[in-house]
């Protein structure tokens, strides 16, 4: 519960992209700038290792909306970008509120592969408007 006793809003964000484009680093940066010390958000993966399956990180933010504070719990679901995990990824595509597509600016192939990621998402999960 939030400081005023209300239940915080929950948002689930899927983080997708090819392997080694910086998804884990981006999630770690988001979590470390959200009021938590970097020691509290120790990364599960070490430098040079890829995410196996799915990694979940939580961030709590407080926003002002309609002249009141609203606590939002953001779940960042980062899925492994290698082809090896492609058959398991759709398990994590349900009940999403947003998708964050990540690519490496020095790797144009990772940018062009975002089309394949979006196709995989569209063919594996119901759109939020259809739920």
pLDDT digits (tens, 9 = 90+) for 63-105: 888 888 889 999 999 998 888 878 888 888 988 899 999 999 9
Distances (CA, A) of 58 to 61, 84, 104: 10, 26, 24
pLDDT digits (tens, 9 = 90+) for 18-51: 999 999 999 999 988 754 444 444 444 445 566 7
What's residue 82's pLDDT?
86
Phi, psi dihedral angles at 122 (to 5 degrees): -65, -30
What's residue 41's pLDDT?
41
Helix (H, G, I), strand (E, B) or coil at 112: helix
Predicted model pTM: 0.78
């Amino acid at each position: 519960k939030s400081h005023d006793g209300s239940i915080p809003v929950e948002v689930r964000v899927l983080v997708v992209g090819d392997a080694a484009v910086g998804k884990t680093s981006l999630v770690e940066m988001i979590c470390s700038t959200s009021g938590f010390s970097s020691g509290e958000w120790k990364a599960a993966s070490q430098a040079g290792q890829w995410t196996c399956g799915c990694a979940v990180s939580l961030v709590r933010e407080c926003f002002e909306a309609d002249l009141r504070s609203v606590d939002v719990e953001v779940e960042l679901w980062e899925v492994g970008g290698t082809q090896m995990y492609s058959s398991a990824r759709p398990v994590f595509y349900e009940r999403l509120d947003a998708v964050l597509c990540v690519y490496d600016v020095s790797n144009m192939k990772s940018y062009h592969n975002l089309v394949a990621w979006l196709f995989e998402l569209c063919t594996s999960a119901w759109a939020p408007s259809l739920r």
